[in-house]
């Protein structure tokens, strides 16, 4: 199978896994609802307005447009890598990065327009009669994986208090995999 096909299939697979998991959570959980899988792993529904770790440094529209531009640049970068016959593993790592970034873009661009608002008392509905909770480009990112690995006696999480999704995981894993590789600038 050609590396171009592998890259495209990987991007589609990651996006599909990300969106299926987010749709399931959005349509079956109220904000703050959780299911304990293990004592150290929970499915815990939150929504994120901003960047990583819930930061909100710049406006939502700018952030969404920046993410879209970054995905376009990554797509062009992958195209160049394929043309230059870069290592398949590196191309696939960048493909996972692109898919992760694109997964959160889908939420930001469309979720506000297609879902009703999730609240602690109500599960969201798809295509509500009175419209979504926000206009296009102003949706919230759905997060659900929570690993409270170390907690204190009061039950507060000491180590790993962040809640994330499949897309976030892909971005993190791809960056870790690419550590030690030559600088990306070399390939441009």
User: Which positions are catalytic?
Assistant: 143, 168
Cα(88)–Cα(50) distance, integer angstroms: 33
Strands 157-159 and 150-151: antiparallel
Q: 142: which 2 tokens?
A: 């759905």
Cα(45)–Cα(32) distance, integer angstroms: 5
Cα(13)–Cα(1) distance, integer angstroms: 16
Cα(36)–Cα(84) distance, integer angstroms: 47
Cα(117)–Cα(121) distance, integer angstroms: 11
CB atoms within 10 A of CB 58: 11
Please give the torsion angle defined by the CA atoms of residues 140, 175, 91 and 64, in that order, rounded to the nearest 10 degrees. 20
């Amino acid at each position: 199978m050609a590396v171009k096909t592998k890259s495209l299939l990987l991007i589609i697979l990651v996006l599909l896994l990300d969106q299926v998991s987010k749709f399931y959570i959005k349509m079956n959980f109220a904000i703050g609802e959780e299911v304990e899988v293990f004592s150290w792993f929970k499915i815990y529904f939150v929504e994120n307005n901003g960047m990583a770790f819930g930061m909100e440094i710049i406006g939502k529209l700018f952030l969404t447009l920046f993410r879209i531009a970054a995905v376009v640049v990554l797509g062009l970068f992958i195209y160049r890598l394929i043309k230059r016959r870069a290592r398949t593993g590196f191309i696939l790592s960048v493909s996972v990065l692109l898919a992760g970034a694109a997964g959160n873009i889908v939420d930001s661009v469309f979720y506000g327009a297609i879902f009703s608002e999730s609240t602690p008392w109500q599960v969201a509905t798809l295509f509500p009669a009175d419209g979504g909770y926000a206009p296009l480009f102003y949706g919230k990112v759905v997060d659900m994986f929570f690993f409270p690995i170390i907690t204190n006696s009061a039950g507060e999480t000491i180590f790993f208090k962040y809640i994330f999704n499949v897309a976030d995981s892909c971005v993190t894993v791809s960056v870790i995999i690419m550590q030690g590789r030559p600088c990306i600038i070399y390939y441009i």
